[in-house]
Structure 1
Amino acid sequence: MVLENRPLVHPDRKVTGFRPFKALHHFGKLTKDKEDTEQVFHIIEALKGKKGLHQMMDFVNTDEAKALIRRDEDLVSMLDDHDRWADCAPNSLARRYVEFMEREGLTAAGLVAESHKFKPKSERFDDMYEWYIERLRDTHDLFHVLTGYGRDPLGELCLLGFSYEQNHSPGVLFIAYMGARQMKKESGLSKPIAEALREGRRLGREAKKLAHQDLLRMLPDDIDMVRRRLDLSPPIAYQRALKMLRDLNPDYGIVEQQLAKAA
C-alpha cells in the first residue's frame, strides 16, 4: 500500500498495555545471551503501552513527517547501499556511518531480519504506526554514529537512556536500568556507570528528536555540523566510564563485537 494511503492505525491492530512479568521473562533470556537481540524487541513490546501511538499521531501531522511520507523512501536499502555514499567527504555522516557498519559487521537489513523473528508478517500492519515503529528501528545505528555511543555494553545502555528521552518507550528504559544494575555489580563501578546513563538521558532530552529528522538528506553533510544542527553534545561521562571499564579489563567491548561478527 502506498504510504500516503495507509490508515493511522489498522483496524486489526491491538495496542496492548503494560505486561511487566512478560518483560522480566525476556530480560532473563537477554542476560543469559547479550547477543540475543530478539529479546529486546519482546521487552519493548511488553512495556510499550500507548504512548508511542500518541507520539506517532502527533508526528505524522507535522510538515517534516508529511515530506518523508510523500517521498516514501526505502530507508533500509538506501542505508545499506554503501557505494551510494562513496563520494561523500571523509568526515561526512554517510562515510562515518558506512565505516561504523562495516567495522561492526552490521547491515540495516540485518536488524530488520532480527525484528521479524519476534514479529512475523501476520503481526505487521499497513498503517502509519508500523511505519513509525520501523523508522525508530531503522535509524538505531545512525543514532550510534551521531551520538558517539559505541556498541560495547555500556554504550548500548547509554544509547537506550538517550532513546528513552527521545521516544518515551518504557521498555527501553527498563532494559537500560536493569542492564546498568548488572554492570555495576560485575564491575564495581557504580557511580561512573550511573553518571554515564544519567548523561545519556540528559543528552536525549536536549537533542532534537533524531528519528523525526530527514536523516537521509543529512548523510552527505559534515557530521560535526549535523551534530550541532541536532543539538547533540559529546558523551563525556560515557567516555570516562568506558576508559575505567577498559582499565579493569582490556578486552571489554571487544569480545562482544567479535561474537556479533561471528553470528
Structure 2
Amino acid sequence: MAATLPPFPGTSGRRDWRTAVDAIRKLLANGDDTAQVFRIMRALNVGNAPMNYARLIATEKGGRIASQHVELAQRFSDPAFVASFAPGTVGAAYRDFLESTGYSADGLVAVSKLEPSEDDLAHPYAWMGRRIRDTHDIWHVLTGYKADESLGEACLVAFSYAQVGGLGWAFIGGAAALKSLKVTGNSLFAKAVIEGYRHGRAAKWISGEDYLELLHEPIDAARERLGIRTPRAYLKAQTELGPELASYLSTQRAAAKQAAEEPRLAA
C-alpha cells in the first residue's frame, strides 16, 4: 500500500475552477489548442503528483526507477534511441506513431511549458508529473486510441483518469463526451469514453512500468501482460461516426477538409 506523502511545497491545495472552466471552453471550441489541456491539469490535478509518486516507490521496481530519475522526453527525442527498437515491439510501434502523426516528445514538452509550471522544478513530484506527461503518446500506442482524433484523445483521457487519477482528466473527458451527444446526435462517442475509463480501471498500473524495458517488449505481449483490452466501443464509434464526427473538436481537420473540397468546387 502506498504511503501518504506531504503536498508539493508552496502549494495551496485548492483547485482553480475559474481557470479550468475558461480552459475547457476554449478546448471545446478548438480541440487542437493543446495548451488548454495543461491549464486544466494544473488547475484541477491538485495532489496528483505526490499520490502517484508514492504509488511508484511502493512498487517492486519503483524505488530503482525513481532513483535513476530518467527524463523520458530526452530519451524519446533522441533519434538513435527511437531507431533502436526491433520490429513488432512497443518501441517500433511508437516510432511508427511519431512518423505517421508528425508528433514528437519535445513538441509535447514545449506545449506544456507555455505557462509556468511546477513540472519544471527540481523535485521528485515534478519529475513524476513529467513522467506521466511524457508517456502520453506511448499510451496511445498501447491502447490503440488515435492521437489525431477527438474521439481517441477523449477515450485516452478517460483511460488516464482511471489509471493516475486527477480531476482534470475526468473534466476533459466528461465535457467532450457530453458535447458529443449534441454534436453527433447519438451516444457512440460517449459510450467509447466510458469504455476508456473502464479499461483504464481494469488494466495494470502502467505508470509503474520501466518504460526503457517496456519499449523493447513485443507489443501484443505487452498489451496482454498489462491487461489492456481491445476497445470495441471505440472502434465501433470510430467506424459509425466517420472521420468528421470522430474529430468534431478539431478545427484543423475541418480546415483540411474544406481545403480538399475547394478544388472540386472550383472545377
Q: TM-score, normalised by structure 1?
A: 0.86
Q: What is the alpha-carbon distance in structure 2 between the residues aligned to residue 183 and residue 18 of structure 1?
A: 26
Q: Which residue number in structure 2 is paired with residue 171 of structure 1?
A: 168
CA gap of 1:41–1:87, structure 2 versus 1, over 3 A, is closer
Pairing 1:49-128 to 2, within 5 Å after superposition: 49-119=46-116, 124-128=120-124
Q: Which runs of 5+ in 2 are unaligned?
A: 257-267
Post-superposition Cα deviations, 1:160-213, rounded to whole Å, max 9, x if no partner, equal 1000000111111111010111122111122x2222111101110011111221
- Match of residue 14, structure 1, among 11, 15, 33: 11
Q: What is the alpha-carbon distance in structure 2 between the residues aligned to residue 248 and residue 116 of structure 1?
A: 30
- Match of residue 229, structure 1, among 220, 225, 246: 225
Cα pair 1:8 1:57 within 8 Å, conserved: no
Q: What is the alpha-carbon distance in structure 2 between the residues aligned to residue 225 and residue 157 of structure 1?
A: 25
Given the alignment of the two structures, is residue 219 of structure 1 paired with residue 215 of structure 2, yes or no? yes
Cα pair 2:24 2:172 within 8 Å, conserved: yes
Shift of 1:37: 0.9
Identity %: 33
Shift of 1:22: 2.2
What number of residue pairs does the alignment pair up? Answer: 251
RMSD of aligned Cα (Å): 2.7
Cα pair 1:97 1:142 within 8 Å, conserved: yes
Cα pair 1:9 1:127 within 8 Å, conserved: no
Post-superposition Cα deviations, 1:219-258, rounded to whole Å, max 9, x if no partner, equal 1221001111111111111000000111776987997469
CA gap of 1:247–1:9, structure 2 versus 1, over 3 A, is closer
Shift of 1:69: 2.2
Shift of 1:89: 2.8
Q: TM-score, normalised by structure 2?
A: 0.84
Q: Which residue number in structure 2 is paired with residue 180 of structure 1?
A: 177
